[in-house]
Structures are given as structure tokens and as C-alpha cells.
Amino acid sequence: MSNESASITDFLTDGSLAALCEAVSALAGVTVELHDPSERVVVSASGERRWSVRDVAGASGGAALAAPRLFSAPLRVGDGRLGSLVVFATEGEPSVQERAAIERIVTLVASIVSELCENQAQLRQRVDELEVLGRLSSMLVAAGDADGLLRVAVREAVETVGADAGTIRTLDPAGRELVIRAWWGLSDDYVVRAMSVPVEAAPDRAALQGEVVCVEDLLGHSDDPQYDSRRAEGLRSMISAGLVFQGRPLGIMRLFSRRTRRFTPAEQGLLRAIGQQSAAALTNARLLETEKEHRRVRQQVRLAADVQRRLFPRSAPAVPGVEIAARAVPSFELSGDFYDFIELSGHTGIVVGDVVGKGVAAALLMASVRSALRAYAQDLYHLDEVMNRVNQAVCRDTLDNEFATIFYGVLDPATLRLTYCNAGHEPPLLLRPRPGARPEDSDIIELPDSGMVVGIDPTERYERSHFDLRPGDTLLVCTDGLADARDFSGAKYGKRRIREALLALLAAEPDAGADRIADHLIWENRRFVGMNRRADDTTLVALRVAGA
């Protein structure tokens, strides 16, 4: 019920106001009548219904018709007129003082009645809004996806406000255009013609800022870009409200009338509430869709991680006189680090690699590098030529900013000679303690590298080097994730702590095997990092030659 069409009879619950008019009439010597907007008289009555309406003015069977009308005090709610209190001089003309007193009393009564009706009208409006929003909330929950939600919202808004048609437009990702996502009561031709409009018009900008914008005559501006389509559709009036959630504009809800119409403040408030409710529901639906997509991606990543784990050797190779152990700690589900052991006619190939980056992209590149190295290692004898071919393959198949570091060594178990190529990888650490002495930092040497990372320059040529291991030697090959790990203060673990951890273990346990060494280094690194998130993948391979 709009205020413009309301009547005082919509607010009466008993005959108190009509009885009050009769009491004032008896005391003041005048006739005070309660009129509705059609000038019908509301009088008190007995029985269950304690007021009634008479079509003929005059509370006393029309006795006041011949009496002079002194004045009337309007009863109002908002911009609407509910009726009036009309005063007739039925017992002679009152004096000026009497008339002024009567007028003050009646005007005061009219003001009090108007205020009470205004409060009741606002309460009814809030109740109506709550009912609509409650019903809308239930329907939005049942709608499911974002598009279904918007269709429900625009249909409910059209029916609630009593409009003829409506649309919901949402902002495109760039925030420059409003695109129709749902509509009601409009032809397909109109929707196609007006599918996307730029955010240029002042009403649209105002609505996106949270205002309710009313246009009583849409066809009054022929220069409007949508004039022809609206004219063909027969749209005359429009009310718009922004879909704004926590200050962030999402789109606009527009309702149309095919007759010229003024939208009341109550209707504007209701549409604003519907727009806010729809914006919150749309945001929630988008979050749910994002979460659903996130779960799907996570599932794919878990499957990919399972496949990647199967690329790693199931166990270290058995080499007479040499223990080998490997550990890999990814920073995400997927790793860019890798290690591998390759059987080469009685010799053992040892590979440790680190691909630039982390996550899915690094994991895919890691698989490509590993496959290329395995393929060339089986067909080529010389390590330097293997590395040359791998470098060319990576350069051919990757972008300029994609590269990998690789340590590739081949161990001859008969002679304990390690032949290797190092393509930009962290230099391996070789600990060769002196017989009967406590190991010291001077007992650790770094095996030099022999070339730049693979994947940068296809003309790069790598050189092979060799080193003869001795009984009691410990060789550690790791990725930079071990040294680059940081604690909560941002301090790096560093190469010095790696050396200290290795020396401390072998000082306390001179006969520690490769598995014990690998576990100790990973534990000391993890203890330093604490609960801080690991920023890079960590991989290491440890070799321990049996003592004499």
C-alpha cells in the first residue's frame, strides 16, 4: 500500500478517533468531523466494529451540511493525504479567541494522529520489507548458482514493487560495462539489443555508488543511447538500485513500468533492500563457485602430485661399498626439484636438479628435463654430450625465463671414481675426515661446477670432471632450498649451518650411514625454520663410502 493511496480508515483499529471528534464537538460547541480522502465521514459506532463510514458529510444526519465550515486540519503520512479533521460552526459563529483555541486543539490532534499513522506506516513498511527479504532469502538459497540466483532476484523484485519488467546487470571484469545477466518481462530482441552498455550515464554511476535512481519518463530524452530499444519495448518509467556489497559495486538492478509512474519512497527503500540482499547473495554464490573450482583444481593438483611422486625412484640403488640416500621436501604439492638414479651397465647415474619456479609450471618443466636426461643418458656415453643435448632440448621447448640447474654424476663402483657435469647447480660438498681425527671444516671441499644452467644458451658446452672417492668419504648433493630456508625473523639457514650440521653428526657418530646423514640434515633444517612456511623445494642426495 503506497502512502498516496492510503486512507485514515487503513489505520483505525477502534472508534477512539471518531469518538474523540465527538467529545471535542460537545466541549467546544462546534462539530468536528473525521473525513477520509474522499470526504466521507468516519463516525463511531457500537458493536464489534466501532466505527463506520457515511457517504453524506455531517455527523448528525447531515445537520452540519448547512453550517459554515470554519477550517480543516489535514492528516498526512509522508507525501500522502489520509483525510482531515473538519470543523463546522453549528451553534453560532465562535469568537476570534474561541476559534483560535479550537483551531489550535484540532491542529494539535491532527498532528498527533499524523505522527502516529506515520510511525505505523513505517512499521508496516519494515514488516513488508522483512517479509519480502525473508521470502527472497529462501528463494536465493534454493537458486544455487549465480545466474539462477539473479533470475530469482529480478523476478521477485518486479512482482514485489508491482513493475512490469526488470533486468540485473553486472560489471564486466574491467568495470567499464554493465552486462545483462538476468531479466524478467522483456523480449529477447530487447535483451539482445541492450545486452551490454558502457558505464557512462550519470544515473548508472549514481546507482553503482548505492543510490536509488528514479526516471519518471524514459522517453523524454531522445539522445539516450537506449532510447530506440526502450521505445520499441514500451518502457516508460524506471527505478534503479545498485548491487553493492561492503562498498564494492557488483552491478545494477533496474525495474521498468510500461506506464508513466512515480515510485514512492517506500518502493525505493524496498528496492534498495532487495538490491543489497541480492548483492550479498551474489557475492556468496561467487565465493561458493570459486571454492568449488578451487576444490576441483586442488584435486587435480593432488592427482598430479601423486603422478610426480611416482617419477622419483622408489628406493636408492644398491652399490657395493657405498650407501646412497635421498630426501625431497616440496614447498607445495608439486615440486620443481627432482633426483634420479639411472642404471648404466653396472655404473650408477646420480641426478639432482632444480627447475626455476614452484608449483604446476615447475613440475611440468621438471618432468620434461628429467625425461630428456634419462633418454640421452641411455644412448650417449660421455656425460658432457648428455648435458649438451639436454641443454639444447630445454632451450628448444621452454621460454627465455625457464631454466634448470642439474648435477649429473656417474659412479664406477669398482674404482669409486665419480665422473660428473654440473650445470649451474649448488656445488656438492665432500667431507673427507682425517683418520682418527675429529672432522673439521677444513675437511670439507666443494666440487666445482662446469657450466651454466640449462635452458638459456643452446650453444653452451659443458665439461666433465671426475673425482676419486675414498673409504669414509661423505658426498652431499642438494638444491638451494636447503640453504635458502628462512626462519620467522627472515634469517637464512645458509651453507655454514649445513656444514656445521654435517660435521656435528659425523663427530658424534663417525659411522653414520647415508640415511642417518640425510635425515639429520633435513631435521636440523626443519628445526631452524620452525613453523615458518618453506619458500622453496628442498632435495638432497647423500653418499657414504664404507670405511677401510
Residue 337 makes CB contacts below 8 A (sequence gap 6+) with 328, 330, 352, 353, 354, 355, 366, 479, 481, 537, 538, 539
Residue 102 falls in which region: left (phi positive, over 0), alpha (psi -120 to 50) or beta: alpha
pLDDT of residue 410: 94
Specify whether the CB–CB gap between 404 and 353 falls below 8 A. Answer: yes
Query: For 71-118, what is each residue's pLDDT tens digit?
Result: 888 988 877 888 899 988 877 777 888 888 888 988 998 898 888 888
The dihedral formed by the CA atoms of 504, 506, 508 and 512, expressed in degrees to the nearest 10: 140
Specify whether the CB–CB gap between 502 and 517 falls below 8 A. Answer: yes
User: What residue ranges define each of the domains in the chain, with the CATH number in brackets?
Assistant: 3-125 (3.30.450), 144-289 (3.30.450.40), 312-545 (3.60.40.10)
Residue 200 makes CB contacts below 8 A (sequence gap 6+) with none
Here the contacts of 259-263 (C-beta below 8 Å, separation 24 or greater) are 260/216, 260/217, 260/236, 261/216, 261/236, 261/237, 262/214, 262/216, 262/237, 263/161, 263/214, 263/237, 263/239
Give the whole-angstrom CA distance, residue 334 versus residue 355: 12
pLDDT of residue 412: 94
> Could you write out the three-class secondary structure of 119-138?
HHHHHHHHHHHHHHHHHHHH
- What is the arrangement of strands in the sheet containing 429-431, beginning at the earlier edge strand? 322-329, 538-545, 474-478, 429-431, 444-446
Query: For 163-216, what is each residue's pLDDT tens digit?
Result: 999 999 999 888 888 999 989 999 999 998 888 888 887 788 888 888 899 998
Which residues of the chain register pLDDT less than 50? 1, 57-63
pLDDT of residue 49: 55
User: Reduced to 3 states, what is the DSSP secondary structure of residue 63?
Assistant: helix
Residue 382 makes CB contacts below 8 A (sequence gap 6+) with 464
Report the candidate in 450, 444, 470 with the shortest Cα–Cα distance to residue 462.
450
Residue 519 makes CB contacts below 8 A (sequence gap 6+) with 327
- What is the arrangement of strands in the sheet containing 337-344, beginning at the earlier edge strand? 337-344, 347-355, 404-412, 417-423, 465-468
Number of Cα atoms under 13 Å in the Cβ half of residue 150: 23
Report the candidate in 403, 340, 412 with the shortest Cα–Cα distance to residue 377.
340
pTM value? 0.57
Residue 380 makes CB contacts below 8 A (sequence gap 6+) with 386, 389
Residue 416 falls in which region: left (phi positive, over 0), alpha (psi -120 to 50) or beta: left
> Could you write out the three-class secondary structure of 395-456?
HHHCCCCCCEEEEEEEEECCCCEEEEEEECCCCCEEECCCCCCCCCHHHEEECCCCCCCECC
pLDDT of residue 407: 94
User: Reduced to 3 states, what is the DSSP secondary structure of residue 156?
Assistant: helix
Specify whether the CB–CB gap between 79 and 4 falls below 8 A. Answer: yes
Element (H, E) at 314: none
> Can you give the C-alpha Rg of the chain in angstroms?
43
Specify whether the CB–CB gap between 322 and 517 falls below 8 A. Answer: no
Specify whether the CB–CB gap between 252 and 241 falls below 8 A. Answer: yes
The dihedral formed by the CA atoms of 496, 501, 507 and 510, expressed in degrees to the nearest 10: -120
Q: Among the residues of 95-214, which ranges form H helices?
A: 96-143, 146-161, 188-193, 202-208
Residue 140 makes CB contacts below 8 A (sequence gap 6+) with 149, 152, 153, 277, 278, 281
What backbone phi and psi angles, to 5 degrees, belong to 249?
-75, 135
Give the whole-angstrom CA distance, residue 441 versus residue 499: 7
Largest CA distance in the chain: 138
Give the whole-angstrom CA distance, residue 88 versus residue 305: 93
∠ at Cα 172 (171, 178), nearest 5°?
A: 50
Report the candidate in 542, 171, 538 with the shortest Cα–Cα distance to residue 322.
542
Residue 369: count of CB within 10 angstroms of its CB: 29
The angle that helices 359-379 and 383-397 make with each other, rounded to 10 degrees, is 140
Give the whole-angstrom CA distance, residue 232 versus residue 152: 26
End-to-end CA distance of the chain: 101
Give the whole-angstrom CA distance, residue 423 versus residue 388: 10
Specify whether the CB–CB gap between 127 and 45 falls below 8 A. Answer: no
